Structure 1
Amino acid sequence: MPELPEMETYKSLLQQMIVDHTITNVAINRQKSINVPTEHFIHHVLNQKVESVDRRAKYLIFKLQNGSCLLLHLMLGGWMFYGNADDKPDRTIQVQLSFGHYHLYFIGLRLGYLHLLSHDMLNKEFEEIGPEPLDTNFSLDAFLGTIKNRKGGLKTTLINQEYLAGIGNRYSDEVLWHAQLLPERKIIELNHGNKVCLYESIKFILQQAIQNGGYMDEPFFPGDSKTGRNKNKMYVHGREGKECKRCRSPIVKVEISSRKTFYCQVCQH
């Protein structure tokens, strides 16, 4: 499932490609991928200029000229592609937004969705989502306040969107490896130094992943050489049996709360 770095990468690219451009055609090939009748969706989206593309947690928000918003959550298996008709991927397209001769294809939205919302409805969607870990206001003190009195394990807390926005299964493993902390260790057991290290690792791992374009398998546009470069730079996630890049011990895989979790049992403590 795309996490904060992947959605931030999409946001940056979309800002360059579709902001201030008008949606000239809308195609809905899967009704379940949207939240309103097709005719209603098209009526509110067609011929509207995209004023901005923002990100919140693992979501993207397309703000339209008429005040409507499109809320995108790709979920598991979802991705996007931007190009002309000749570049169209040989995949099933659930939703397509056209901008003249160029099209934004939404692919793999079997669990994901593109919902049409008002600003009030959008704000309600985010009421229970925690702070953005890369926000300039998310200081160490703010982080310490977020995890204060938490008694759960590190892995399950990091992926809980009510406490931190945008971190999922993949980057929680990477953060904990970088901080040299075991995923099942309890937050209440951490000393101040551990917490500082965890905070710094969250910042470092997410920023590095964004710089490398996240881990998405598919390019976003023809000739895209940035998207997905972080996939080959993972420290532990998906590397079961391979050498730890810090101590050369084999990476192990376990399940924590039904999630595949990768870590080094030697240099994470």
Structure 2
Amino acid sequence: MPELPEVETVKKTLQALTKGKTIEEVVVSLPRIIQEPPSPALFQAMLKGQTIHDVGRRGKFLRFFLDTHVLVSHLRMEGRYCLAEKTDPIEKHTHVRFSFSDGTELRYKDVRQFGTMHLYPMGEDLHLPPLVKLGPEPLSEDFTLDGFQRALSGRRTNVKALLLNQAFLSGLGNIYVDEALYTASILPERLVETLSMDEIQRLYTSIRTVLANAVKAGGSSVRSYVDGHGEMGMFQLQIKVYGRKGEACHQCGNPIQKIVLAGRGTHFCKTCQR
């Protein structure tokens, strides 16, 4: 599933590809992607004539800013956007097409069919599900060390599970939680209440550093992820533990281990993480 760095990269490419384009027609081939209200038919009607003025991001969600509405899109497991000419053949698993007045189309493809789209009046999307439930943005100025320390206080769970919780901190997923915990030298099984102040500070710094580096690299293409231009991310070349079960740790040389924690495959080095 695309996480914050991948969605941020898609956001930037879609800004370049769609900003200023006016929607002439919308075709929805898989109605369940559109979350009611509105109905898929009304969704199509409401978007006709709307211009895309900008593309933003909140957590793992894309936000298309139109004339009067905001389109909120979640890519889930394998959703992706691409720009095509209207005359180009429609590829398999293309479920939504936004036809523009300049002869191009923004096409949404999703092999797994788990993606979602919500349409809200301008200014309402942040105050309604799913965005209203999201925690702070880890790369924003509002995400401070003091605030992170306060948010951790009284939590009775393991640190991996908490960091995966989008209501606690938005945008982090399995890849970057494993990488941040490794960089902070903290075992994913550690109970939050056992973390020292020094460990909390290391974790805070690691989260921001790992995510910032991943954004610079265009995200991680460990499965099927590509950006709006169809380009792969490159952060997988910098990954230290995720997906490296049995391979040697870059620091100590001992094999990377994998367990299931919080329902997710979890990678770590038992020597370097404590």
Q: 2:268 aligns with which of 232, 243, 263?
A: 263
Task: Please tell me whether the aligned partners of residues 68 and 117 of structure 1 are also in contact (alpha carbons under 8 angstroms).
Answer: yes
Matches of 1:266 and 1:181, distance apart in 2? 10
Q: In the alignment, which residue of structure 2 is the partner of 1:69?
A: 70
Matches of 1:228 and 1:9, distance apart in 2? 9
Task: Please tell me whether the aligned partners of residues 243 and 251 of structure 1 are also in contact (alpha carbons under 8 angstroms).
Answer: yes
**Matched AA of 2:249:** C
Q: In the alignment, which residue of structure 2 is the partner of 1:110?
A: 113
Q: 1:238 aligns with which of 224, 240, 243?
A: 243
**Matched AA of 2:31:** Q
SS in 2 for 1:103: strand
RMSD, matched Cα: 1.9
Matches of 1:142 and 1:132, distance apart in 2? 12
> Alpha-carbon deviation of 1:97?
1.4
Describe the shift of the 1:85–1:232 C-alpha distance in structure 2 as closer, same or farther (beyond 3 A): farther
> Alpha-carbon deviation of 1:20?
1.8
The normalised TM-score by structure 2 is 0.90
**Matched AA of 1:112:** G
> Alpha-carbon deviation of 1:220?
3.2
Q: 1:133 aligns with which of 122, 129, 138?
A: 138
**Matched AA of 1:46:** K
> Alpha-carbon deviation of 1:103?
2.1
Task: Please tell me whether the aligned partners of residues 33 and 116 of structure 2 are also in contact (alpha carbons under 8 angstroms).
Answer: yes
**Matched AA of 2:69:** S
Q: 1:47 aligns with which of 42, 46, 49?
A: 49
Describe the shift of the 1:157–1:89 C-alpha distance in structure 2 as closer, same or farther (beyond 3 A): farther
> Alpha-carbon deviation of 1:88?
6.2
Task: Please tell me whether the aligned partners of residues 178 and 201 of structure 1 are also in contact (alpha carbons under 8 angstroms).
Answer: yes
**Matched AA of 2:70:** C
Matches of 2:238 and 2:90, distance apart in 1? 26
Identity of aligned residues (%): 33
SS in 1 for 2:124: helix
Q: 2:124 aligns with which of 116, 120, 123?
A: 120
**Matched AA of 2:226:** P
The normalised TM-score by structure 1 is 0.92
> Alpha-carbon deviation of 1:89?
7.4
User: Are 1:203 and 2:218 an aligned pair?
Assistant: no
Task: Please tell me whether the aligned partners of residues 73 and 117 of structure 2 are also in contact (alpha carbons under 8 angstroms).
Answer: yes
**Matched AA of 2:16:** Q
Matches of 1:258 and 1:185, distance apart in 2? 16
Give 1:72-221 correspondences, 5 Å limit. Answer: 72-84=73-85, 90-99=91-100, 100-108=102-110, 110-118=113-121, 119-125=123-129, 126-216=131-221, 217-221=224-228
Q: Indicate the larger mover: 155-164 or 11-20.
A: 11-20
Count residues with an aligned counterpart: 266
**Matched AA of 2:128:** K
Matches of 2:228 and 2:4, distance apart in 1? 20
Unaligned runs of 5+ in 2: none
Matches of 1:54 and 1:47, distance apart in 2? 20
SS in 2 for 1:106: strand
Describe the shift of the 1:221–1:72 C-alpha distance in structure 2 as closer, same or farther (beyond 3 A): closer
